[in-house]
Amino acid sequence: MKISGIFVAKKPARDYNTDIVLVDIISFTKLTSAQQLELIEYMTQSFTRMLEKLLSNSDMKLSQMVLGFISTGDGFYCILNPKMKGFGTILGLSFNHFSELISQKLPYFKGIRIAVHTGRIYEFIDILGHTNYIGDGLNHCARYLEHKDYTISTVFASKAAYASFKKFLDLFPDFEALLLEQEFKRSGLQKFKDKHDNVWSGYMVWLRKGSVINPPNLKFNSLSMK
């Protein structure tokens, strides 16, 4: 590849098949600029503290749980480390519970919508030299927020994400027991069409007893979750 007379070696893109959690702030564009800034700063600080607590409880580094975050302006994508595939649905439920605590502090905050999908993403270095991600996994995850019957306090898990979630519970049965204690619920299969007439399907999941759930403490040098 040639840029302004300089040849740049093209490295093969690193790709991952993993869980993607998309958090979208409801009615964000209807807020004033001051409210948007206050909300984004407060959410960033709150979710950062939540993640730090989860990682501390599980004796993990951030990179062991998350590959990266991508801002969408009115929310963010959270891309999980592939070894944590299947935990995305649980992380989405934790984000959802924590957002209810935020709404108690900021009355104008209407809540968040959350979609989880297991798909392929590609890593690249952007123009600022930062690691970033693209791919159908991100695009497909966003489609699940188009479900018109979405209910607040739920997480929409694609069929692929739910299959990964079930495999995760098979590997870690203690998590299934914990979810039962928290009264985990799942809807029937939801199908809908997007504006291009493509069909998407998945499940709405929620906890009647909301909580923030720690990730499993994995031996990253020996365990590979496929």
Give domain status of residue 3, yes or no. Answer: no
Give domain status of residue 10, yes or no. Answer: no
How wide is the angle at C-alpha 11 spanned by C-alphas 8 and 14, nearest 5°? 145
Cα(126)–Cα(60) distance, rounded to whole angstroms? 27
pLDDT tens digits, one per residue of 56-106: 999 999 999 999 999 999 999 999 999 999 999 999 999 999 888 888 899
pLDDT tens digits, one per residue of 151-200: 778 999 999 999 999 999 999 999 999 999 999 999 999 999 988 899 99
Give domain status of residue 124, yes or no. Answer: yes
Residues recorded for the chain:
226
Q: What is the CATH number of the domain that holds 138?
A: 3.30.70.1230
Instruction: Give the range of the structural domain holding residue 131, as residue numbers without chain letter.
Output: 15-207
Give domain status of residue 71, yes or no. Answer: yes
Give domain status of residue 91, yes or no. Answer: yes
Query: What's the pTM?
Result: 0.89
Q: What is the mean pLDDT of residues 96-122?
A: 93
Give domain status of residue 212, yes or no. Answer: no
How many domains is the chain partitioned into structurally? Answer: 1
Cα(201)–Cα(188) distance, rounded to whole angstroms? 10
Give domain status of residue 214, yes or no. Answer: no
Give domain status of residue 217, yes or no. Answer: no
